[in-house]
Amino acid sequence: MGSSTASSGPSSLKLVGLVAAWYAGNTLYNIYNKKATNMIHAHWFVAAAQLVVGVVWSLIMWGTGIRKTPNLSAADIAACVPIGLFACLAHAGSVLAMGVGAVSFAQIVKACEPAFAAVIGLLLPPVDVKPMLAYAMLIPIVGGVGLACVKEGKGVDINVTAFAWASMANVAAALKGKVGGSVTKSLKGDKSKNMDSANVYAVMNIISFLFNIPMVIIAEMPTLQEEWNKAAAEHGAQAVITNIALSGFFFYIYNEFAFAFTANVGAVTSSVLNTAKRVIIIVVSSIVFAEAMERNTVIGSAIAIGGTFAYSLASKAKPAA
């Protein structure tokens, strides 16, 4: 009996460790990402450089045999390309949003991701209809974000650029989830392909990096050398490189732990804890970067995050028999 229980699932200690590593990595990523984007105003470049860290890490893991190398056909890779594209846009959108605005504001807007996912779930086949209670929870999510944007004595005060980039990240993340679910499930289900959760993320990270390169060339290449020289002169090249490298390291690590946690407990529990994670990031970033949190911002973000928490539960609720 004892062995049956022990083998029925991951230990509580392992799950706690995964969550702790996920939260710590995500919080440190946001801190070092903001430091990096404050130093150099070439944010597509920062996003691409962060992904390089994960690419190098994956190649080392595969080259040394610590992890099995993915065994993918051309068709498998082609199926992963759209997911990598949306992963690129979701990552870059987040980096650019936090680069031009407060980390806390970007996290509040990103709490709206379920609203984008719900719409995309209805527009793109196969249609994903959620329980009515889940759609009702979108009201406090959107309303909370709206309240957080109302400044006392000023009315609605939105950093439009940060809002646009964060919204792009939301759309891309929702599309990645929509088109990627069946593909990743199929790849992970075929043991011959060596695609566990870590390798699924590694492959998506590499494709995401490849899509990021042309965006750097188009958006920033003409001024990149000038921006680098300016950042190096003001902050020191070593400081700029260190913050970019650390943000890339923690970005890759926290995603690996998040993927591993989700594989162990499922999407619902992961979504709930992802919601709680935003609270920690908002609090820590507001302290580290002295980001002002007015009363409406605090109340609005609490309502939006609470709505996201409720949506995560309601969207996966089993219909009554």
147, 92 contact by CB (below 8 A): no
Whether the full predicted model's pTM is greater than 0.95, yes or no, is: no
Query: Averaged over 184-212, what is the pLDDT?
Result: 94
Q: Is the pLDDT of residue 247 over 50?
A: yes
Which element (helix H / strand E) includes 150? strand 150-151
Distance CA 208, CA 178 (A): 17
Residue 151 three-state SS: strand
Q: Is the dihedral of CA 237, 240, 246, 251 positive or negative?
A: negative
What distance lies between CA 288 and its chain's CA centroid? 20
Q: Is the pLDDT of residue 111 over 60?
A: yes
Closest by Cα among 199, 284, 212, 286 to 248: 212
Query: Averaged over 228-238, what is the pLDDT?
Result: 98
